[in-house]
Amino acid sequence: MTARVQGQEPVATPILHVDMDAFYASVATRDRPDLADVPVIVGGGHRGVVLSANYPARVYGVRSGMPSTRARRLCPDAVVIAPDHDEFSVVSSAVMEVFRRVTPLVEALSMDEAFLDVRGAVRRLGPPAVIAEQVRAVIHDEQRITCSVGVAATVSVAKLASKRAKPDGVVVVPPERVTTFLHPLDVGELYGVGEKTRASLHRLGLVTVGDVAHTPVGTLRRALGDALGTHLHELAWGTDRREVSPGRSGVFGNGGGDPERSMGAQETFSRDVDDREVVLRELLRLTSRVTTRMRVAGVAGRTVAITVRFADFTTITRSRTLSEATDVTQEVYRAAVGIYDALGLQRARLRLVGVRVENLLPREQVHHQHLLGEREHGWSEADRAMDRATRRFGDAAVRPASLLG
């Protein structure tokens, strides 16, 4: 397949997937040459998980997402560093800026990886593989961290290629070598295939990507559902046509500015909790965190959902849709408490609670039927006053009375 743009020669492999190597660990140690060859784990507080492990730590089997207790057992000598999220976002922004110097067609998938469509840059900068090396050199010079790049005709193949390139390399997969590249891979490598789906596929006797490719779509759809079945078959042949979309990052298909999104916050208690007052205070904290972010983003939402995780790790979510979208702390909190009380938990031991607001839309689109002077209006004013004070005096300056002390 070749991509064409008017006035430009076709480019066989216009898509780059750039992925930082052990991003958090690399950033955390870039000023610590003494840690270069020492196992390093970022994250992993009390009841936490590993955010990132450098390559020396990975030798011991440490992986990101692993419970920190297990990681320390595997590698007791590892240096554990607390994450500095502010620094991560600064580096992330700088890296994304490097990408945008190459092309405006950049889709950030997360802090540390992005797709680049470079078909418009080849005249200026050279073939995609050359661009890939330039990007790597610039990031290394400016940020002192390494990254790996996959180069291919499609985003899904580019993503798999960057994994193959790790660490600190480039892999180009030309169109004529796509199936040769894909088919020997384990099905678990495909984007969207996790533990459960991999197990389902294994039960069907499908172990490699090639196995999936040579299975009728109908079989896959019956086993995995319409969407996933169809999608995996495309991925297995490298025929997925999803474009790089600079707007939003979507997991499946091409989203293209879909407004249906959510914002939430959740927190694991340092010790399991069975006291209603403690839970409610936490719900208020989390709600306030979420609604503050919503007001900054200029969005409101109609559906309030809470998550409750019990001591045994079973997790439930319950939601309630309001008649009107809101960004008012007290309204979201009232809904959250209503949902919580409806659960009727009698001193159950809770590990975590969370609050999420869904069905977000731009605040301008919320039509207010509230009468002036109604209570809601007062709460909204109070929120905005809090926001202003927070901006001027910082987070600790202003908070609901029940969160004091």
Q: Which is nearer to DNA, 160 or 178 (CB)?
A: 160
- Smaller CB separation from DNA, 125 or 311: 311
If binding is defined by CB under 7 A, does position 89 make contact with DNA? Answer: no
CA distance 363 to 386: 18
Backbone angles phi, psi at 110, to 5 degrees: -170, -170
Task: Name the segment binding DNA (CB under 7 A); options: 31-39, 91-99, 137-145, 317-325.
Answer: 317-325
Q: Residue 306: which H helix or E strand, with range? A: strand 299-310
The reply to whether 186 sits in an annotated binding site is no
Which helix H or strand E contains 181, and what residues bound it? Answer: helix 178-182
193 binds DNA (CB under 7 A): yes
Measured at the alpha carbon of residue 13, what is the angle toward residues 10 and 15, in degrees to the nearest 5?
115
**387 a known binding residue?**
no
CB within 8 A of 356, min separation 6: which ones? 262, 263, 264, 265, 266, 290, 304, 305, 306, 307
Chain-centroid distance of CA 380 in Å reads: 31
Residue from the set 184, 216, 218, 225 that interacts with DNA by CB under 7 A: 225
For DNA, the binding residue among 41, 232, 263, 350 (CB under 7 A) is 263
> Of 161, 264, 282, 287, which one interacts with DNA (CB under 7 A)?
264
Among 261, 276, 281, 363, the residue binding DNA under the rule CB under 7 A is: 261
Give the contacts of 262 (CB within 8 A, at least 6 positions apart): 301, 356, 357, 358, 359, 360
Kind and range of the H or E element at 209? helix 209-213
113 assigned to active site? yes
Which DSSP string do the residues of 91-111 spell out, in sequence order? HHHHHHHHHHHH-S-EEEEET
C-alpha span between 383 and 394 (Å, rounded): 15
Q: Which of 113, 142, 176, 195 is catalytic?
A: 113
In the complex, least distance from residue 229 CB atom to DNA, rounded to whole angstroms: 7
* Position among 359, 380, 383, 386 found at the interface with DNA (CB under 7 A): 359
Residue 391 CB, shortest distance to DNA, in Å, is 19
For binding to DNA (CB under 7 A), which residues are involved?
46-49, 51, 64-65, 67-70, 72, 109-113, 159, 190-198, 225-228, 250-253, 255, 258, 260-268, 289, 293, 302-303, 305, 312-313, 315-321, 351-352, 354, 356, 359
Catalytic residues: 113
**Binding-site residues for Mg(2+), please?**
19, 112
